[in-house]
Amino acid sequence: MKAAVLHEVGGVPRFEEFPDPVPAEGEVVIEVLAAAVENVDKAVAAGKHYASGKYLATMPMIPVFDGIGRLPDGTVVGFGNVRSPYGALAEKTVVPEGAYAPIPDGIDPAVATVMASAITALTMKTAAGLQPGETVLVQGATGVAGRLAIQVARLLGAGRIVATGRDDTQLAELRADATINTAVSDEALQKAFDEAGAYDVVIDFLWGRPTEILLRALTPDTFAFGTPTRIVQVGEVAGSDLVVPADALRTSGVELYGAGRNLSPESMGEAYQQVVDWTRAGELTFAIDRVPLSEIESAWQRGSSRGRRLVVQP
């Protein structure tokens, strides 16, 4: 079969022949229809992710551990848990029986690869209990997940949406009510957070410095009742650590949640169905750069820009 084959840690996958996967007992071979290349896949291939060891144990290997494909009986499914060295950037891959779920009719497989990012955005409701009319701050709004979070906030009835990013051109493309550029001095950023108003819910893809400064902005400088702000931790593109001064929690009313709060098979199922319904109705749109598998080498190096997801189709 044809596959994107990685020969060394930190290398670039090449389009070449690779032996077809042979299923062991309890496994099934999947014909791959689409696979998204995300930051996490590049981090794994570069040996910079905690899961790198598992996926890079045998070289050469095929990157990307989930995708959309067709079972031998013709059912189109979203799959995960590929058996390394087989990955999703190939014509075929192999997974344990049951490590997949059907994709509803009428959903393009390339779109289906990006739906997880919209489900993640729904944690502003599942984790933080967003109510219609509330103000949402999307920290890191110019990426794929951030742009979807703006759409999701709108669909959930947010009253006001404030978006942060570090590029004015991209910020201007967003359908937010106000934008904040984080690539300014700490003082200027704190002032911008202050001036953009109170926030009920923050969905945070950045963490690190911008969120430390947000906490400073949320901390009252007089004795006053704090306005509760529920922050949902989702990503960490600006830094994995955060200094939280004691008074930032004690006096601000800030509540810090992980995106996994309140997640259960039922709430995941509801979030998935909600995203499917919005997608079918055309209310939620996904920005995708489709690339044939044969172009993986240049596409991997080029990446995707301006909030678009690179989706590879064999």
Ligand X SMILES: NC(=O)c1ccc[n+]([C@@H]2O[C@H](COP(=O)([O-])OP(=O)(O)OC[C@H]3O[C@@H](n4cnc5c(N)ncnc54)[C@H](OP(=O)(O)O)[C@@H]3O)[C@@H](O)[C@H]2O)c1
Count of residues touching ligand X (by CB under 6 A): 24
The single residue among 28, 37, 94, 234 that binds ligand X, judged by CB under 6 A, is 234
Asked if residue 78 binds ligand X (CB under 6 A), the reply is no
Q: Which is nearer to ligand X, 18 or 199 (CB)?
A: 199
Least distance in angstroms from the C-beta of 222 to ligand X: 31
Q: Which is nearer to ligand X, 142 or 251 (CB)?
A: 142
Asked if residue 179 binds ligand X (CB under 6 A), the reply is no
For residue 101, the cross-strand partners are 78
The single residue among 93, 113, 120, 179 that binds ligand X, judged by CB under 6 A, is 120
Q: Which is nearer to ligand X, 78 or 143 (CB)?
A: 143
Asked if residue 38 binds ligand X (CB under 6 A), the reply is yes
- Residues 238-267 binding ligand X (CB under 6 A) are 238
Asked if residue 67 binds ligand X (CB under 6 A), the reply is no
Least distance in angstroms from the C-beta of 181 to ligand X: 10
Asked if residue 144 binds ligand X (CB under 6 A), the reply is yes
Contact 63, 89 (CB under 8 A): yes
Asked if residue 9 binds ligand X (CB under 6 A), the reply is no
User: Distances from the Cα of 197 to the Cαs of 143, 156, 214, in angstroms?
Assistant: 23, 20, 12
Task: Provide DSSP, the chain.
Answer: -EEEEB-STT---EEEE-PPP---TTEEEEEEEEEEE-HHHHHHHTT-STTHHHHTSSSSB---S-EEEE-TTS-EEEE----TT--SSBSEEEEETT-EEEPPTT--HHHHTTHHHHHHHTHHHHTT---TT-EEEEESTTSHHHHHHHHHHHHTT-SEEEEEES-HHHHHHS--SEEEE-SS-HHHHHHHHHHT---SEEEES--HHHHHHHHHHHS-SSS-PPPPEEEEE---TT-S-----HHHHHTT-EEEEETTTT--HHHHHHHHHHHHHHHHTTSS---EEEEEGGGHHHHHHH---TT-EEEEE-
Binding range to ligand X, per CB under 6 A, among 159-167, 190-198, 282-290, 293-301:
159-167
Asked if residue 211 binds ligand X (CB under 6 A), the reply is no
Binding range to ligand X, per CB under 6 A, among 51-59, 128-136, 230-238, 247-255:
230-238
Asked if residue 166 binds ligand X (CB under 6 A), the reply is yes
Least distance in angstroms from the C-beta of 180 to ligand X: 11
Least distance in angstroms from the C-beta of 307 to ligand X: 6
Q: Which is nearer to ligand X, 167 or 194 (CB)?
A: 167
Q: Which is nearer to ligand X, 92 or 125 (CB)?
A: 125
Q: Which is nearer to ligand X, 85 or 235 (CB)?
A: 235
The single residue among 93, 113, 117, 151 that binds ligand X, judged by CB under 6 A, is 117
Tokens of 272: 């998935």
The single residue among 67, 78, 85, 146 that binds ligand X, judged by CB under 6 A, is 146
CB-count exposure of residue 73 (10 Å: 0-12, 13-18, 19+):
exposed
Which of these, 98, 116, 99, lies nearest to 35 by C-alpha position? 116
Least distance in angstroms from the C-beta of 42 to ligand X: 10
- Residues 266-305 binding ligand X (CB under 6 A) are none
Site of interaction with ligand X (CB under 6 A): 38-40, 116-117, 120, 140, 142-146, 165-167, 170, 182, 205-206, 234-238
